[in-house]
Amino acid sequence: LFCSEALAVSVLQQLNPLAPHKLRALINRYINWALEAPGAGPLNAMRSVYSYPFPVVIELIRNLFLHYPYELFWGWIRPPGLDNAHVPIIERFMKFQEDALPGLSGFRFRYPTAGANEGIREAFTKLKRDGKTQIYILQGEYEGYEEVALAHGIRVIKVDPNQDPAELPAGWWFISNPSARDGNIIPNEFIRKICDAGHHVYYDLAYLGLTDFHAFDLTHPNIDGVFVSLSKSFGIFGIRAGFMFSRERVDGLTGNVWFRSDPALQVADAILHGIRDPQHLTRLYRPFQTAVVADLNRLHGLNLRPSDVVLLAYQKVSDVVGDRQAKVLSRFDRAGVGRLTLTRYFLEMESWKSLVRIAIFLGLISPRWRIILPRAA
């Protein structure tokens, strides 16, 4: 409904002055548009992963800001006090994802951060200060690691996932899991093998909460730090809410106990209170993802599969048949896997179009109105 507000206003504006031929043309246009399959038209998937502003989350934020607890501005003189205001919220997050994150409580240093990015940046600051000159990532990983590494003068080595980590000199890895490479979950054994070979891992959970249940094992002592973000998990990219968990102090984040964004933390808290089940969003949107992937395959001749992450779909480049598929997928290629973000289709499904479809389904509007309306003079 919220998405359709702007559209409804534009429709009303177009209807004035109300000429029958205009009305007819408009109704035709909207009915045709609503009857289109979600994946019709040019391929509207995106290469980058943009979070989806889940309406159920937006509603929680709307309520928070309608009744914003302004007394929190006095938080520095009232318990839990300036230094600790974030603590109950981080603990709420830990409780919320307790089953999915075995070992998280073993990370003694916990910081509120502006998304995962701030934690990643400060992990690099620490590595640089400790004299590290290079890190490892898997081929096709999240581009952000390389950007931040570049800014710190640290070299990035991209590793083939089939390479035996024991053959590489021990070093520091940045791994996103669920993986930014294809939106799928990397098995725990894969990361354990890297740690057992003497490497250290920074574990990025940016897509946590967007898959079916999985326990991401964080117990290995060589997992040095964990990044959590609410940007994608709850579709609140611009709010900049997240946490970093570390076994050692991260000096670059020490000041975050004061220099944090309390409104961002309040949003996080409202979401953790409002969405009580960590699998809720995945369950809600999995059927959307399946429907969109089926339509895209039919309309664009692809062999996409729904990723574990509900916002994404993927296809191995080695599974490509024919030039047409190869051309379409090349735009999305990340080291041999085409990864597509479906966010725009979600938006479309949840918009005015869906309402028209439901109205047609319920018999409130007939697609045949196109025929029975008077012809333009």
Ligand X SMILES: Cc1ncc(COP(=O)(O)O)c(C=O)c1O
Asked whether the CA dihedral 345, 350, 354, 358 is positive or negative, the reply is positive
List 3, 45, 49, 275, residue binding ligand X (CB under 6 A): 49
> Which two tokens mark 95?
């409780």
Could you give the C-alpha distances from 16 to 9, 20, 373, in angstroms and in order? 11, 11, 18
CB of 102 or CB of 144, closer to ligand X: 144
- DSSP, res 100: T
Element (H, E) at 291: helix 280-300
**If binding is defined by CB under 6 A, does position 112 make contact with ligand X?**
no
Q: Which is nearer to ligand X, 231 or 325 (CB)?
A: 231
Given 53, 112, 115, 252, the residue binding ligand X (CB under 6 A): 115
Chosen residue from 97, 176, 222, 289 binding ligand X by CB under 6 A: 176
Distance CA 79, CA 241 (A): 22
Residue number with CB closer to ligand X (39 or 140): 140
Q: Which stretch binds ligand X (CB under 6 A): 72-80, 97-105, 114-122, 125-133?
A: 114-122
Residues 6+ apart with CB under 8 A from 134: 154, 155, 156, 157, 171
253 binds ligand X per the rule CB under 6 A = no
Cβ contact 227:102 at 8 Å: no
- Answer yes or no whether residue 265 interacts with ligand X by CB under 6 A: no
Number of residues that bind ligand X (CB under 6 A): 14
| Residue nearest to ligand X as judged by C-beta position | 115
- Nearest-approach distance from CB 203 to ligand X, in angstroms: 11
Residue 124 binds ligand X, judged by CB under 6 A: no
Give the nearer residue to ligand X in terms of CB position, either 229 or 282. Answer: 229
Return phi, psi of residue 173, to 5°: -115, 145
Distance set, CA 110 to CA 25, 72, 249 (Å):
59, 21, 9
User: Do the beta carbons of residue 215 and residue 100 sit within 8 Å?
Assistant: yes
Is position 246 an interface residue for ligand X (rule: CB under 6 A)?
no
The neighbouring-strand residues paired with 164 are none
Q: According to CB under 6 A, which residues from 180 to 239 bind ligand X?
A: 180, 204, 206, 229, 231, 237
Positions that interact with ligand X (CB under 6 A): 49, 115-117, 142, 144, 176, 180, 204, 206, 229, 231, 237, 242
